[in-house]
Structures are given as C-alpha cells and as structure tokens.
Amino acid sequence: MRRNDKEIVDQNIINDILNNSVICRVALFDDEFPYIIPMNYGYQDNSLYFHCAQEGKKIDLIRKNNKVCFEIEQSYEILKDEISCKWTTKYRSIIGLGQMEIISDYHQKLNGLDVIMQQHGKKENEYNSKNVDNIFVLKLNINSISAKQSGDW
C-alpha cells in the first residue's frame, strides 16, 4: 500500500467493514479482460458467501479459474470544497484475494444462505427446497486482505 497513513491494521475495524457492508465486487479472470460483478454477501469465519444461478458466465469463469479478487466499501462521502482540487472522499474499503468454491451440497447451501441472510438482518430463515435445489452458494475463502480509509472516523 502506497499510503501507509491510510492503512487499516486494526482487525476490529476490518471485521466491522466485513460484517456491516452489503455489496462485494468480485473480479474473475476472463481471458483478455477481467470480469467484475457486484453481489450481496454474508461474512463468517474468514469467508464470504454469495448465491447465484447454477449456470452462466460467472460459474463458467469460476470453473476455469477459481482465484478471485474482491472489493468491499463500507461507506463513502464526497467532501466538497470551493476549490476543486481540494475535493476528497471519506471512505473505508477492503481489497482482498481468495479462492471461490462452488457449493452444491444442500445442507452446506442452507448454511451459506443463513450467513447471507444474517448479514442483512434476518436471523431465522425458512427456505423453499425447490429454490435451494436450483441455486449454487459460492464460498470465497479469503487468502489476504488489505484495508484502507480516508477522512475522519
């Protein structure tokens, strides 16, 4: 990280970002250019969980190469000034690397769905088994994270 003064090293703050954000952007390898997708997620035990259809470009790319990069921002605010060059952004964000796992086992999918639902505020869940059968849950096993912030927190 170029700006060490902006680096977040406090694991409590990093966990706060992971536990209280709602969108994760996942970058996948797609031959010549990266392919990035925003997804809602759940975080638990150094892993991010997502749900998706059982087929499509995302699944095809993960099957070819399951190494991914991801980005999460907790919040941001544009701080304006009369002088254009003094505009700045207040933010907290995480960039990480990991490996994506496709979960097809029914009970493991339920666990992943529970993690996602808890992230968004629902603790007790009821699922339609047909719907669960028709999706995959993706588990991103995090290898490394760097976190950054700007502005007064």
Kindly report, residue by residue over 37-67, the tens digit of the pLDDT.
999 999 999 999 999 999 999 999 999 999 9
- The residue that leads in pLDDT, 148 or 6, is 148
pLDDT attached to residue 3: 67
Tokens of 151: 């502005």
Domain map (residue ranges) of the chain: 4-150
pLDDT attached to residue 142: 98
Cβ burial 22-61 (10 Å sphere, 16+ → b, else e): eebebbbbeeeeeeeeebebbbbeebbbbbbeeeeebbeb
In angstroms, rounded to a whole number, what is the distance separating the alpha carbons of residues 43 and 28? Answer: 19
Q: How confident is the model at residue 20 (pLDDT cuts 50, 70, 90)?
A: very high
pLDDT attached to residue 124: 85
Q: Regarding the domain delimited by 4-150, which CATH topology (the fold level of the hierarchy) does it fall under? A: Pnp Oxidase; Chain A (2.30.110)
Residue 29 and residue 57 in contact, taking contact as beta carbons nearer than 8 Å: no
* Mean pLDDT of all residues in 124-130: 89
Kindly report, residue by residue over 77-104, the tens digit of the pLDDT.
788 888 888 887 788 999 999 999 999 9
Q: Residue 5 pLDDT > 80, yes or no?
A: no
Q: What is the pTM of this model?
A: 0.90
Q: How confident is the model at residue 133 (pLDDT cuts 50, 70, 90)?
A: very high
Q: Residue 74 pLDDT > 90, yes or no?
A: no
